[in-house]
Amino acid sequence: MTLFKKIYTLPYRYWKYLMTWQMHRDTIKHLNRLSNRDLRDIGLTRGDINNLVWMKKDFEEQGKDD
């Protein structure tokens, strides 16, 4: 592993994590603003929101290099 890659891998992974986290938070906020009727119209409940946004893939890829 080159010195450049060693130095910039951790900050890059942290930045990528923060960007993903922010997108997920924005989606959760948007869905939480919907009424229960609107959520029902699209086939969701309030309890489904976090499970839809934070996918199993996100947890499996946590801490892996690209």
**Per-residue burial over 18-42, b = 16 or more CB atoms within 10 Å of its CB, e = otherwise:** eeeeeebeeeeeebeeeeeeebeee
pLDDT at 48: 85
Query: In this structure, which amino acid lies at residue 55?
Result: M
* Residue ranges per structural domain of the chain: 22-66
pLDDT in tens, 3-18: 777 778 888 888 898 9
pLDDT in tens, 16-58: 989 988 988 898 889 999 999 999 999 999 888 877 776 666 6
- Measure CA 64 to chain center: 15
Q: Give the contacts of 62 (CB within 8 A, at least 6 positions apart).
A: none
